[in-house]
Amino acid sequence: MTKLDATLNRLVEEARTAPASAEIAARALPLLDLTSLNDDDTDERIAALCDRAVTEAGGVAAVCIYPRFVPLAKQRLSNKGVAIATVINFPAGGTDAAAVSADTKAAVRAGADEIDVVLPWRTFQSGERTIPHDVLRACRDACGDGVLMKVILETGGLDDAGLIEQASRDAISAGADFIKTSTGKLNPAATLEAAAIMMAVIRDCGRPVGFKAAGGIRDTAGAAGYLYLSNVLLGPGWATPSTFRFGASGLLDALLADLGQTTTGRKPSGGY
């Protein structure tokens, strides 16, 4: 990745050493989008994922699943205070705005509360701006009122500080409620460097926008660095479920262990 400016680089280095603790685990748990996005997901696996979403230590923010499982998750988590998130044009970041609109409308009708849509990042990387904007606007319009749009930038593919900054700004301009690092299908996934750039854009954008780190965050120590960046760049009280998410599959059990809770023992076989 292109070198960060000196201030962000210093913050990233500090974030790498942010200590893990039970307090950090307690902060991170309600920020979790508990995720299973495997090609071989089944009703049984998604039902088990939903059953894991409410623990003795509290509930997660959302479950994130493929659209075909939205009705099942909606039924399974009825009145549990856990949102249903799903993915559109995932993971490749398709450029067909009409298809994105239709798929988003179908997911919302099925009960999705949140839509994670992929910026057509390869097209964006090539220098094209109209097509990515049109795709995101189609999703935003199809979401309607009350449904969150989280835009996945696929920062590991962009792999350039300037491109990540511009993609963040363009996603926000197109109506993003959250900007999200990664699909979890490409390496590197979430990085502290990308997170610092994205949070700095959020800080300066002039309206409330959330941040989601997704992919490769597996323990409390991994979560601690992102929370440190949010504290410094956006304020100690900024990271709440309405502004900050971790997209992960295995992180929940690690957080519960650090909170002294019995772990669920039923991790998805993949996802994030």
* Residues labelled catalytic: 116, 180, 212
147: its two tokens: 């449904």
Side-chain-side CA neighbours of 193 within 13 Å: the count stands at 18
- 206 in the Ramachandran plot: left (φ > 0), alpha (ψ -120 to 50) or beta? left
Q: Write phi, then psi, for 55 (nearest 5 degrees).
A: -120, 170
| Residues in a beta bridge with 245 | 212
Contacts of 83 (CB under 8 A, 6+ apart): 61, 62, 63, 113, 114
